[in-house]
Chains A and B, each alone.
Chain A
């Protein structure tokens, strides 16, 4: 069945399909921005439940350390292998450490941590909040005059802002260790030479950009997941849809914003 036939079966023209998709996307972006503003307002007012923040830190951060480490190790292996292979051909093997570390600190570290947190934490948050909506738990909070944003979103956001930068820097170091190993095995490059190259290449600004990206990733994951969770109604099927939607949106936005930050900070002048 071709695409037009499929649209006809769904009783939607391609234009209607695009309008529905675009409209819901635009609506979600609006809901996410409003949620972000409401969250910041609570934080500025000091309405933070710190015991819940620590609980969320454990869930978001500590429970993600293993998956982030595994992803970072294999990313470091693959990247170092590719870079080593090419640079050795040009006799520039002493630059392997610098190139690997630049890629890790500027792009791979924040993206690896962001994507893993989006997959593991963002989806769980969207599923949890949607279930709470469907089972009237959010209504119960509202009746008790408890602000759902203050109660549910603020602790998750504060915890993510603390833990995602930590995970990003952790992913970078794990990737770097993997890179040192592979460079040693594949290009016979001593770890000392690798580290000398790293020290000569990395600037303080790279760390600043790294933490900016990590903070943006934390914001995207929590705000999109919470906005999707707190605006979904329906039944069990909608919990699944909300979870998928959260992963798709947060991961896409991580890559989009990663490019925006990179272009603003590293574009040639």
Chain B
């Protein structure tokens, strides 16, 4: 069920198209016919309460899960995923973690180093190239994960809770990176989050998910002013409304 306005951009095919996506785990249906499209150069925020199926959508998009029913059409196989937990390999240095993404491109050592340094400079971690992840702060690990996700200049970038657990300043820095990348790479981006500042700053469009369905769609400005019972409850963080605890 898609409620709200679809923001189709005339002429171009969407970079990502999700059609009637269904998924169950151990008899519990997590996704119930999800539909959405994302175009190149656009950032879609998928928001919603914890456990509503947001991260499950991302795992489908990057091939970690296969749908029970439905279709996912991607115009590029070059996908970067920023994990909520950063997911850096602790036995490798920051530079080696980034080099993992470049393995299949058969580049020379010098070319690899140049790309790695360029990406690390972008996230302000050029001095940490030989540092191991456990020696980094949470924010630095997140930025390393960010640099690793974009090391191949992907056409599709997925962010799983990119600012959760970070202080407000670091959250703003990460949000700025997301905005910067959207302009620089012209990639189709999906940000899964429940942080108001993150979706309101980074997204061109917002989809609100609840209990496996997309229940609202619109721009961040519309989201904040919406009278829709779901969106209003989520945007204003009130207890009264259809998204009561336990209904997810």
Residues in chain A within 8 A of chain B (CB atoms): 132, 135-137, 139-146
Some 5 contacts from A to B, beta carbons below 8 A apart, are A135-B87, A141-B100, A143-B63, A144-B103, A146-B104
Q: Are A146 and B100 in contact (CB under 8 A)?
A: yes
Which residues of the other chain, A, contact B103 by a CB distance below 8 angstroms?
144, 146
Q: How long is the Cα–Cα vector from A136 to B133 in the complex, in angstroms?
A: 14
Q: Which of B80, B89, B148 contacts A132 (CB 8 A)?
A: B89
CB < 8 Å A-B pair total: 39
Which residues of the other chain, B, contact A144 by a CB distance below 8 angstroms?
100-101, 103, 148
Residues in chain B within 8 A of chain A (CB atoms): 59, 62-64, 79-81, 83-85, 87-90, 100-101, 103-104, 148
Q: Are B100 and A139 in contact (CB under 8 A)?
A: no
Q: Are B64 and A137 in contact (CB under 8 A)?
A: no
Q: Are B104 and A140 in contact (CB under 8 A)?
A: no
Which residues of the other chain, A, contact B80 by a CB distance below 8 angstroms?
143
Q: Are B64 and A143 in contact (CB under 8 A)?
A: yes
Which residues of the other chain, B, contact A143 by a CB distance below 8 angstroms?
62-64, 79-81
Closest A-chain residue to B104, C-beta based? A145
Which residues of the other chain, B, contact A145 by a CB distance below 8 angstroms?
104
Q: How long is the Cα–Cα vector from A137 to B79 in the complex, in angstroms?
A: 16
Q: Are B63 and A135 in contact (CB under 8 A)?
A: no
| Given A145-B104, A146-B103, also A140-B87 (CB < 8 A) | yes
CB distance from A138 to the nearest CB of B (A): 9
Q: Are A137 and B89 in contact (CB under 8 A)?
A: yes
Q: Are B85 and A136 in contact (CB under 8 A)?
A: yes
Residue of B63, B79, B89 with most partner-chain A CB within 10 A: B89
User: Which 6 residue pairs are nearest across A and B when measured between Cβ atoms?
Assistant: A140-B87, A136-B87, A143-B81, A143-B62, A144-B101, A137-B87
CB distance from B138 to the nearest CB of A (A): 13
Q: Which of B64, B88, B89, B148 contacts A142 (CB 8 A)?
A: B64
Q: Are A140 and B63 in contact (CB under 8 A)?
A: no
Residue of B80, B83, B148 with most partner-chain A CB within 10 A: B83
Q: Are B89 and A139 in contact (CB under 8 A)?
A: no
Q: Are A140 and B79 in contact (CB under 8 A)?
A: no
Closest B-chain residue to A144, C-beta based? B101
Which residues of the other chain, B, contact A146 by a CB distance below 8 angstroms?
100, 103-104
Q: How long is the Cα–Cα vector from A136 to B64 in the complex, in angstroms?
A: 11
Which residues of the other chain, A, contact B79 by a CB distance below 8 angstroms?
143
Which residues of the other chain, B, contact A132 by a CB distance below 8 angstroms?
89
CB distance from B104 to the nearest CB of A (A): 6
Q: Are A139 and B101 in contact (CB under 8 A)?
A: no
Q: How long is the Cα–Cα vector from A140 to B80 in the complex, in angstroms?
A: 10
CB distance from A37 to the nearest CB of B (A): 22
CB distance from B92 to the nearest CB of A (A): 10
CB distance from A173 to the nearest CB of B (A): 33
Which residues of the other chain, A, contact B104 by a CB distance below 8 angstroms?
145-146
Q: How long is the Cα–Cα vector from A139 to B100 in the complex, in angstroms?
A: 13
CB distance from B61 to the nearest CB of A (A): 10
Which residues of the other chain, B, contact A141 by a CB distance below 8 angstroms?
89, 100
Which residues of the other chain, A, contact B63 by a CB distance below 8 angstroms?
142-143
Q: How long is the Cα–Cα vector from A137 to B97 in the complex, in angstroms?
A: 11
CB distance from A42 to the nearest CB of B (A): 14
Which residues of the other chain, A, contact B90 by a CB distance below 8 angstroms?
137
CB distance from B63 to the nearest CB of A (A): 7
Q: How long is the Cα–Cα vector from A260 to B59 in the complex, in angstroms?
A: 44
Which residues of the other chain, B, contact A135 by a CB distance below 8 angstroms?
85, 87
Q: How long is the Cα–Cα vector from A70 to B236 in the complex, in angstroms?
A: 67
Q: How long is the Cα–Cα vector from A137 to B177 in the complex, in angstroms?
A: 23
Beyond A139-B64, A140-B81, A146-B104, list 13 extra A-B contacts (CB 8 Å).
A136-B83, A136-B87, A137-B89, A140-B87, A140-B89, A140-B148, A141-B89, A142-B63, A142-B64, A143-B64, A144-B100, A144-B101, A144-B103
Which residues of the other chain, A, contact B84 by a CB distance below 8 angstroms?
136
CB distance from A253 to the nearest CB of B (A): 27
Q: How long is the Cα–Cα vector from A132 to B89 in the complex, in angstroms?
A: 8
Q: How long is the Cα–Cα vector from A137 to B62 in the complex, in angstroms?
A: 14
Closest A-chain residue to B81, C-beta based? A143
Q: How long is the Cα–Cα vector from A28 to B129 in the complex, in angstroms?
A: 39
Which residues of the other chain, A, contact B85 by a CB distance below 8 angstroms?
135-136
Residue of A132, A137, A143 with most partner-chain B CB within 10 A: A143
Which residues of the other chain, A, contact B89 by a CB distance below 8 angstroms?
132, 137, 140-141
Which residues of the other chain, A, contact B81 by a CB distance below 8 angstroms?
140, 143
Which residues of the other chain, A, contact B62 by a CB distance below 8 angstroms?
143
CB distance from B116 to the nearest CB of A (A): 14
